Structure 1
Amino acid sequence: MINRVILVGRLTRDPELRYTSNGAAVASFTVAVNRQFTNSNGDRDADFIRCVVWRKAAENFANFTHKGSLVGIDGRIQTSSYDNQQGQRVYRTDIMVENFSLLETKAENERHNSDNGYNNQSSSSNYNQNSNNYNNSNNSNNQNQYGNNQSNNSNNNSSDPFHGNSSGVHISDDDLPF
């Protein structure tokens, strides 16, 4: 059985960090994810997806993100239900975050936030809740999961359009396939 969710979107508000009676941190937030197609007016609609992250990852997420932050979320779907004060059954679907990535550099985040009137700061990093590693995502020496490593890429420098480009490549939300 597989229950895996990967999202890329922007936070609709600052994460809400709380602590359980046992002292475990839990942060909840909503991610706005644009749909791939446009509506009849030519605008892109968005889905607003509730997410929950626990423990140290929750504290890190709350400390390094804010409304408007571009984030990548890796997790699983969890459904639950409860009876509200009127006695009606309420069903709820959340994404339980296992890993997250902050997808903008600090400069890009500040530029985006100044364009939209936000004032908070963030940084670009990866956080893996399961292994509690907090690593900089801009590490160019990492090998990716598809087996492309430095020795294979060094032979193709003449055909690599990004070789020697230290400024990186800017990718907007519209460029992403999801």
Structure 2
Amino acid sequence: MASLNKVMLIGNLTRDPEVRYTPKGTAVTDIGLAVNRNYTTDNGEKREETTFVDVTLWGRQAEIAGQYMKKGRPIYIEGRLQMDTWQDKQTGQNRTRLKIVGDAFQFLGGKDDGGGSGGGGGHQQSYGGQDGGDRQQQPQYDSRPAPSESGGGAPSHGGGADFSEEDDDIPF
């Protein structure tokens, strides 16, 4: 049976990242992400629910995060779920937590944007999937152009344009 383990989130950083290194020299950093969900109750009352998510970044991504990410900055992140298990040193009980291992991220908002609700992007780093260990990864850059910071909205194709052309050149 097929399975899929993919997560895509947009939220604000809850703390400045701190980069550390494994004994083999691979950079790793943990960041916190606050993700908001707006909804309306059955009574018509508008509510906002915030979920706090832990994200781990490895390699070059971790270094970029340490250099450019700041508390409050909005980001888009893609990754996979991973279950961490450990034994509590004080109580001896087994503990678990679900976290995200980041595969790619993109800064949202303007340059040095410390908050807000996103907007045109800028910088995206995308790397191959991580096994979460001390393995160095070769970068696989996303070939899509970064969204324009001006304009916003969908591109305009002009009124009444005829799209009956052959689509043989489309790369997908």
- TM-score, with length taken from structure 1: 0.66
Deviations 1:84-118 (A, max 9, x none): 112011102110000101011216x15x48xxxxx
2:135 corresponds in structure 1 to none
Which residue, 120, 137, 147 being the options, matches 1:138?
147
Which residue, 49, 54, 60 being the options, matches 2:58?
54
Amino acid at match of 2:123: S
What do you get for the CA RMSD once the two structures are aligned? 3.0
Consecutive unaligned residues in structure 2, runs of 5 or more: 129-138, 150-154, 162-172
Which residue, 61, 68, 72 being the options, matches 1:68?
72
- Tell me by how many angstroms 1:65 deviates: 1.0
2:29 corresponds in structure 1 to 27
Cα distance, 1:22–1:103 mapped onto 2, change above 3 Å: same
Moved more, 28-37 or 47-56: 28-37
Consecutive unaligned residues in structure 1, runs of 5 or more: 114-122, 141-152, 161-178
**Whole-Å Cα distance in 2 between the matches of residues 38 and 46 of structure 1?**
14
Q: How many residues align?
A: 137
Identity %: 29
**Whole-Å Cα distance in 1 between the matches of residues 59 and 25 of structure 2?**
9
Deviations 1:37-94 (A, max 9, x none): 1579744120000000100111012211110111001000000211111201110211
Q: Does 1:158 align with 2:159?
A: yes
**Whole-Å Cα distance in 1 between the matches of residues 66 and 11 of structure 2?**
16
1:176 corresponds in structure 2 to none
SS in 1 for 2:19: strand
